[in-house]
Structure 1
């Protein structure tokens, strides 16, 4: 699975959904799905976050196809404030594109935690 679309299609099949049902549940037009399939476009950040949360997969896997062994696992515990400061200093060494990805990933994990909290209520 080399593309985001192929990974989404895999998840749809794995969950036993039709593409139409998936699109309806996440408010995605079938035209957009077609564009993703043809490589004309890819899902936007917010839609990727929704898709990741819907299927309970990481953005690393959804966007890049990285396996759990290649990425840091979520839920490995909270960072201490000292670790956060250390990471903040290190972000200056990252490219702007990498910094943006990290910000989006943080938004995704916050969104996922919120959905889990709502489900546990």
Structure 2
């Protein structure tokens, strides 16, 4: 297994504190824009730091893959030239603006592989 990618060691350490036994971190990306400070991507879920935008208090938010309905990427005529992806869930949409289109593309690819690797991810408990 390769080592997880991270932009900032302190953010990686924060995400690592929320990992359950058997869960593996793929990457921790620093985000830009208001609301989300950073996002962790594991083999089981997305974990992000909400800076009081969604929950009115600074919180770590987890979204298991079985709760993700879809993923969107802005298409401005050139494939994967955007640094933004949006997760579509039954509870609402969560947008992440990465520090580079390459990081957004890596996140998109890993999340899609996790979603497509499950027969019906939304039906699993």
Q: TM-score range by the shorter chain?
A: 0.3 to 0.5
Highest RCO, 1 vs 2 (Cα 8 Å, sep ≥ 6) = 1
User: In proportion to residue count, which structure has more strand?
Assistant: 2
- With structure 1 as the length reference, what TM-score do the two structures score? 0.38
Determine which structure has more spread, i.e. the larger CA radius of gyration: 1
TM superposition score normalised by structure 2: 0.37
